Structure 1
Amino acid sequence: MADLKNDYNKYADIDEDEILKNLTEEQLEELAYELDPDNNMLPASERMRPQTKKAPTGEFSRQKLLDFLEKKAKEEKDWEEKVPYNPGQKRGKVYQKKEDKKKDDEKTNGNKKQEEWEDELEGATEEDLVELAGILGLHSMLDQEQYAASQRSVLGDEKIVGLDGERMKFSAVTKASLPKDFAMEPPNTTDVEGSIKKLKANDKELKNLNLNNIKEIKLDVIKEIFAAAGDNTVLESLSMASTGLADKAAAMAAEVIKKNSTLKSMNLESNFITSEGMSILCKALANNTSLTEFRVANQRSMIGSKGEQEYAIMLEKKNKTLLKLGLAFEHAGPRSMAQDALMRNNEAVRTQKSGKK
């Protein structure tokens, strides 16, 4: 698998435009013949490959074409039939109209039931019914408390049945329990203006800045935050998840990644960054040597296979210090490359620590 990955990687830096410039006219024509543009928006005449180089004999005439086809049909001999034709005799399978099967309209409690299902369910044991419920996915409707109660004995034995022997039995009465009411997460009360002043003053106490879930931050304030964070030499963690950041803010965050050499963690999850902004952030991470954690998952739109490949190549070839990447890869290839690169970076840190000890 590693050899196959290396075979693909050696073609990553090839410039296709440069190769096409050096091809002759005959080679370009041969290449165009081999490639089939799979584009449904093109008409069929432009998608199909040329089948002949014969020049047209003249303008198209529908009547001449029909006369030619009729002449060719009369000149060709009829196919030999296996069964000779006799007038009035029917050949092959004679069509017979099938009788319509009447549906069973018998109703039981307002629901229609088929006789086959009724016969099967009448003779089913408890184990068969439980197994059928598992196949239909009904077991997922029980929570852990209900499932444990359903396996207890009717006689009051609180011992839960084991996995072997009687694991299919549901004997006791199961009662539903009301869902627990969890308190809402308190709002973020961080003073944004005060945090900006501390960033500009390089306050030694401000090492972690958490602005998550603050929706009222305007673009001018965001610009001021990133400008101050770029020049700061104390800040180690900057978290701005779910703050409404878009591509313009992503470009500002990329400048922070390029300038700041003390920042170790950045969180930009659950915002409105598109694939364009994700690409800008990826290019900034390529030359960064201070960040060990970068989270940018759950954005407005998926970055696609091209964007995932860009992040995977950045981790594999350029960034050697990033240890955690919060990004959900949808494709297996880039995901595997990114995991291998992060594992390599973590192993390098572990080896360095063990060498110091």
Structure 2
Amino acid sequence: MEATETETQTTQTVNPHHTVLDISKSCARIRPKLSGQVRHLEAAMSLKKGDEATGDLDEEALLEKLTPDEIAQLEIDLDDLDPKNAALPAGLRQKDQTKKVPTGAFRRDSLLQFLEKEALETEENEDLVPFTREKRGTPYIPKVQAAKLVPRDVAPRMAEPGAELPAVEMGSDVTLEPELEEALANASEAEICDLAAILGMHTLMSNKQYYEALSSNAIVNKEGLNSVVHPDECKVFPEEPPNPTDVEQSLKRIRDNDQTLTQVNLNNIADISMSTMIEVAEALKSNGHVEKFSLVGTCCNDSVGLVLADMLKVNGVLKSLNIESNCLTALGVLAIVEALKKNDRLTELKLDNQRQQLGNRVEMDMAAMVEGNKSLLRFGYQFSSPGPRSRVANAITRNNDLVRKKRLENVKNA
């Protein structure tokens, strides 16, 4: 009976013409969505019953049986909205369901005044324990500070609640010799700053003042303890002068086997060509006076390295070869190191800082070749693996020990 009376009252207060129009519009709007839901429902029922034949559902009959409130709720349920999507504006996350007529334009000041008035008129919850300014518990006193500052007759009273620490004069018992007191009284702030640096009080000054005071015997601090850190002046260093070696003249002297030419330095010559470096290496094969050859930073490649390896096999005079900071690969480096098997004159070989890393396998081969040489005393290469590094170090130590024993035998025989 209550439901019948409610429906009768609703029908009397609502215009039937408008209600029919609203229902027809709502039905036309939700019919496509309802068709999709019906298809999903039919598919689910067919799967559940083992693909048995199911009768078609009449959408029009379903819509005719719905009341206006049920149609409105169905339209809300079928609306494709995502209330949890924070990337969407608030107006697109859910449907506007406000049915009230707006009372007027939005006024921010009136809203703030209403909220402030509402907050002031709202009674606050009473505290379970009222707030008081009473201090409770025992005050914490560090043990070191208590031992230094609190006398023995006062210490038992400090444990009582509300007790305060008595004032004790600091530094009254510190006495110095008359000479020291006079020196400190007449010392300037710069001298005190140097003294603090010597005593290790680095927090009272800048790092520059601290290290200058430690490294100098004189008073170097002129600004005192409360100084401002100033930037250091930029030190300009002159560029390294270019290599003055005349490549053509050196090549001619090597070919002529000049007796006065014992060292050839072609380091960091930018305009030297690969063909020229190959000619110099070929000329060293028949030279009998050059003992030191350096070719650092010239971008020589494996073609030069292979010629240098052939030169080491036949040259019996060269003692030092430096080809660091170049573009050699594993092919050129292994060829040079392998040539040490047929060379018993070379004592120094530097191969470090090439363009690419050689790898563990190449380093193991290098270590095996160095172990077979008895004349090499210095080997310049930074190994990346500890195994080859240890083997080469042991081989170099062995060769140096052999030279030392040979020198001692010569001294005894002499």
C-alpha distance in structure 2 between counterparts of 1:159 and 1:257, whole Å: 62
CA–CA separation in structure 2 for the residues paired with 1:158 and 1:201: 66
Q: Provide Cα deviations, 1:39-75, integer angstroms capped at 9, x if missing partner.
A: xxxxxxxxxxxxxxxxxxxxxxxxxxxxxxxxxxxxx
TM-score, scaled relative to structure 2: 0.47
Q: Which residue of 2 aligns with 1:116?
A: none
Unaligned runs of 5+ in 2: 1-188, 206-224
Give SS of 1:223's match: helix
For residue 328 of structure 1, the aligned residue among 378, 382, 390 is 382
Aligned partner of 1:207 among 236, 256, 262: 262
In the alignment, what sits opposite 1:127? Answer: none
Q: What secondary structure does 2:264 align onto?
A: strand
CA separation in 2, counterparts of 1:268 and 1:339? 20
Equivalent residue, structure 1, for 2:285: 230
Answering whether residue 203 of structure 2 is matched by residue 169 of structure 1, we say: yes
2:192 aligns with 156
C-alpha separation in 2, matches of 1:303 and 1:268 = 15
Q: Out of 229, 247, 271, which is 2:302 matched to?
A: 247
Provide the C-alpha distance between the structure 2 equivalents of 1:219 and 1:166, rounded to a whole number of angstroms: 59
**Corresponding residue for residue 369 of structure 2:** 314
Query: Contact conserved, 2:337 with 2:370, CA < 8 A, in 1?
Result: no
* Counterpart code for 2:389: R
AA in 1 matched with 2:378: K
Corresponding letter in the other structure for 1:195: S
Could you say which residue in structure 2 is the equivalent of 1:304? Answer: 359
Amino acid in the other structure paired with 1:288: N
Please tell me the residue identity of whatever aligns with 1:348: L
1:154 CA drift (Å) = 6.6
Choose 280-289 or 249-258, whichever is displaced more.
280-289
Residue 267 to residue 161, structure 1, CA distance change in 2 (3 Å): same
What is the match of residue 352 of structure 1? 406
Aligned partners of 1:242 and 1:160: how far apart in 2? 49
Structure 2 letter corresponding to 1:205: T
Q: 1:170 to 1:330 in 2, by over 3 A?
A: farther
Say how many residue pairs are matched. 203
CA RMSD of aligned residues (A): 2.0
Q: Contact (CA 8 Å) 2:313, 2:343: kept in 1 or not?
A: yes
**Structure 1 Cα separation of the partners of residues 399 and 336 of structure 2:** 19
Q: 1:76-225 residue pairs with structure 2 within 5 A?
A: 156-159=192-195, 161=197, 166=200, 169-171=203-205, 172=225, 173=227, 174-225=229-280
Post-superposition shift, 1:157?
3.6
- Match for 1:235: what amino acid? V
| TM-aligned CA distance change 1:167 to 1:324, over 3 Å | farther
| Cα distance between partner residues in 2 of 1:180 and 1:190 | 29
Q: Does the CA-based 8 Å contact 2:257-2:287 persist in structure 1?
A: yes
Please list the CA deviations of residues 281-340 of structure 1 after superposition, one character each: whole Å capped at 9, or x if unmatched: 121122211110011111010111011111111122x10110111111011111111111
Q: Distance in 2 between matches of 1:196 and 1:323?
A: 28
Answer whether contact 1:282 1:310 (CA < 8 A) is retained. no
| Residue identity opposite 1:196 in structure 2 | L
Question: Could you tell me whether the CA contact under 8 Å between 1:265 and 1:291 is conserved in 2?
Answer: yes
Please report how far the alpha carbon of residue 176 of structure 1 lies from its aligned counterpart in structure 2 after TM superposition: 2.9
User: Which structure has more RCO (C-alpha within 8 Å, separation ≥ 6)?
Assistant: 1
Higher helix share: 2
Residue 155 of structure 1: how far off its partner (Å)? 6.0
Give me the whole-angstrom Cα distance separating, in 1, the residues matched to 2:347 and 2:231.
46
Q: 1:166 to 1:235 in 2, by over 3 A?
A: closer
Within 5 Å, give how 1:9-20 maps onto structure 2: none
CA distance in 2, matches of 1:212, 1:166: 47
Aligned-partner SS, 1:313: helix
Using the aligned pairs only, state the percent identity: 35
Give 1:156 deviation, angstroms: 3.5
TM-score normalised per structure 1: 0.54
Unaligned runs of 5+ in 1: 1-152
> Per-residue deviation at 1:180?
1.8
- Distance (whole Å) between structure 1 residues aligned to residue 298 and residue 194 of structure 2: 50
Does the 8 Å contact 2:272/2:298 carry over to 1?
Answer: yes
Conservation of the 8 A alpha-carbon contact between 2:261 and 2:290: yes
